[in-house]
Amino acid sequence: MKIAADAAFLVFIAGIGGITLELARPGYVLPGVLGAGAALAGSYLLCVGSNQPAGLAIALCLAGLLLAAEWWSPVRAVSGVAAMLVLFVAFWLFSNVHAGMLLAGTSALGSAILYLVSQARRARQNKAV
């Protein structure tokens, strides 16, 4: 079954959003499980349809590490913005996803991640001891 690169990109973005939602608001199992499945399926479909699957896989791993650094780093927004830039450039160079879809998807995902991380940090700071 062949799937369009734009659809695979949307599945990947939705998966990352689900994982981020699970990390920001732990306790709900469904967003994390569905997000992990969608992120894996989307990244697999993007790598299969890519002209440089190894380059795309390396960029996805780098973006994942940068998102993890954003989650636990005391510096705000630097790693998250870098991860979104890595995703945009990697998909632009190594896949057949349209530039408008890339810009909209990475912007929306970056905004959602930065919002959820800020909410999680605020909740951690206001936690009753």
Amino acid letter for position 74:
P
The count of other CB atoms within 10 Å of the CB of residue 31 is 18
Which letter does DSSP use for residue 27 in this model?
T
Dihedral sign for Cα atoms in the order 88, 89, 91, 95: positive
**What is residue 3's predicted lDDT score, i.e. its pLDDT?**
67
For residue 103, which of 112, 91, 94 has the smallest C-alpha distance?
Answer: 91
**What is residue 128's predicted lDDT score, i.e. its pLDDT?**
63
Amino acid letter for position 26:
P
Round to whole Å and give the CA distance between 72 and 75: 9
Q: Is the pLDDT of residue 129 over 70?
A: no
**What is residue 16's predicted lDDT score, i.e. its pLDDT?**
84
Residue range 23-73, pLDDT digits in tens: 777 787 888 899 889 988 888 888 787 777 788 788 888 887 887 787 777
Q: Return the residue matching tokens 């697999």.
A: 44
Residue range 69-109, pLDDT digits in tens: 877 777 777 887 888 888 888 888 877 778 888 888 888 88
Q: Is the pLDDT of residue 1 over 60?
A: no
State the chain's maximal CA–CA distance in angstroms.
53
Which letter does DSSP use for residue 9 in this model?
H
Helices (H) and strands (E) in the chain, counts: 5, 0
